[in-house]
Amino acid sequence: MNKEYLIYAVCAMLAFVSCEKQGFLDSTQSTDLNEQVVFSDSAYTINFLSGIYENIGFATAPKRFGGGGLDASTDEAEGAGLGTINTFIQFATGTVNANMITTDAWSTCYTNIRRSNIMLKNLPDAQFANDIKVRATAETRFLRAYYYFILIEHYGGVPLMGDSVYRADDVIPFARNTFAQCVDYIVQECDAAAEDLPWAHNGENYGRVNKAACYGLKSRVLLYAASPLFNGGGLATEEPLRSIVAYPNVDQARWERAEAAAEQVIASGQYSLHLNNTTEPGYGFYEVFQLRKNNEYLLARMQGGNRQLEATWNPPTFGVDNPGAYPYLEIVNAFGMRNGLSIDDPNSGYDPARPYNGRDPRLANTITRDQSMAFHRDGLARRPVNIFIDKTNPNNVSSGQDAIYKGTPTGFYVYKMIHRFVVVDQFNTETPRCLPIIRYAEILLNYAEARNEHLAAPDGKVYEAVEAIRQRAGLSPYTLPTGLSQADMRAIIQNERQKELAFEGHRFFDVRRWKIAETVENRQLHGTEPVRAAGVTTYNTIDVRKRVFNQRMYLWPIPQSEVAKSVDLLQNPGY
């Protein structure tokens, strides 16, 4: 697909340059002659579709907003580039406003929705076999639904454009559809697309949308729709905004729809967690992110050989000079012990003097902390060394720039999805990695959450789904106590999502749909200051940021530049 992007850049970008930086609600210019050129050639047509794929995953990119992205916009991490007023700073300080918020969610999504409609309009006359037309139509419908989902998770209900391709002199509808209409539309498009796609692609088609991606997106949108923020718990009290930002009524049956959607993937037997506990406990959790092809990814952002995460999240001694986000102590403490108990449990064996001993194996594969084992290059060989983050800069390792207050404001770096053997400062090692968008671990957690919420108490199927995640993580024992209440299981599922899906873009929206952001993002957040003396390290808790959250921040404001185009485009409550 990367080779196709180059052809697309030569042809499609020239043909549609006027709409590349605009949203659906902007006036655009695209001549029939340009469309005729692009869609009269089968290669150009397929490459135009590849161009719609190109922005998949933009919303969860670690460098979104110039550094930190959604990770630094929630209680996961502190952002880099603090000298500028950007979106994650606005979310950290409670100063989010419609004039300064990034426009990327709105403009990128509507640009690609417009591209999708152009594609669907021209596909009937495309110059290739009918089976490819059918597949391309299904892929395009999914992609359009995917971009609509990105819109509603940010804003609530948005204007639905159907199949229309608007021109500069057309009357464009600006009124927002209800939340229910948007959810129904996305679900219908996912179901329709799934009918014409296989469960998985192989060969040169690997990485394209498949049936599992359709049902995975359906699972996610229905889980969000059933959650407290949207299931009758919206921010507006008066119509029409009340029905635009959420369902106006509570309906517990929405959890059952979410469960059924996740079960479509599970029951297929086509996907599974990537298991490998032979090398070390929980090694499969590390390894799955390094495999370009695996049985866990339902949808991923395909890309060529890369080291982008290593160059974003590693400590400075790895050659990183444009970092992403720095984890807070709170996310570190969310990881319990390998015995499955929370560090707050008096029976867990947690020792504050040796805080990283005996922890959930996922912690070491998610966070770089003081004295983490890492690999540096020594001539032509790689040698393991400890990364020291303590402020005393020990003489045995030249790592002063990695230290607290120098390389990191929190005492931690992100390690999620990083390849252990890529040494960035040599610029000669790349990974085959692609970036997960929907993976089977999420589906299991979606299923467990939805089923738990509509039952009076969790049953064996809820336990089974959660314990599968814990088993792959390398916990021993991985089983949960029997007789848990619905509230107990809810807390466990929320904790498992926080750990398993950390730094994949879920946390920002999870704490909002659960309506707990006013607690977890409205408090003092911390880091750790390791102080080393006489061979002993003491870990002092330090204040990093007092985050501020208010109710309006459960949804993003629609950019003021868009609202100004029509009085029919209603702004979200509080903005």
Provide block-wise average pLDDT over 10 residues at a time, the chain (575 residues): 37 36 41 74 90 95 90 95 78 95 96 96 91 96 98 98 84 92 98 97 91 98 98 94 98 98 97 92 96 96 89 85 91 98 97 96 95 67 66 53 90 94 69 94 98 97 98 97 98 98 98 98 96 87 97 98 95 97
Cα–Cα distance between 200 and 525 in angstroms, integer? 42
- Strand 297-301 and strand 435-439: the pairing is antiparallel
Q: Helices in 123-238 by DSSP H: which ranges?
A: 130-155, 179-195, 211-226
In eight-state DSSP terms, residue 389 is -
Q: Which residues pair with 326 in a beta bridge?
A: 78
Which pair of tokens denotes residue 78?
């502190």
Q: For residues 328-354, b (16+ Cβ closer than 10 Å) or e, as one string?
A: bbbbbbbbbbbbbbbbeeeebebeeee
Chain-centroid distance of CA 574 in Å reads: 26
Query: For position 14, what pLDDT does the model report?
Result: 31
CA proximity to 86, closest of 75, 76, 105, 73: 73
pLDDT of amino acid 426: 58
- pLDDT at residue number 169: 76
Handedness of CA 312, 58, 179, 188 (dihedral sign): negative
Interatomic CA distance for residues 509 and 71, integer angstroms = 11
**What integer pLDDT is reported at residue 8 of this predicted model?**
36
Spatial distance between the Cα atoms of 288 and 98, rounded to a whole number of angstroms: 39
One-letter amino acid at 331 equals I
Query: What is the model's pLDDT at position 189?
Result: 98
* Residues composing the chain: 575
- Of 205, 380, 419, the residue nearest 293 (C-alpha): 205
DSSP state of 174: -
CA 565/CA 214 separation, integer angstroms: 33
| pTM for the whole structure | 0.92
Residues 349, 294: Cα–Cα separation, whole Å: 35
Question: Which amino acid is present at 412?
Answer: F
Sequence-ordered strand ranges (E) for 415-508: 435-439
Termini Cα distance of the chain: 41
In angstroms, rounded to a whole number, what is the distance separating the alpha carbons of residues 279 and 127?
50
**Rounded to whole angstroms, how far apart are CA atoms 2 and 23?**
25
Q: Is 203 left (phi over 0), alpha (psi -120 to 50) or beta?
A: left
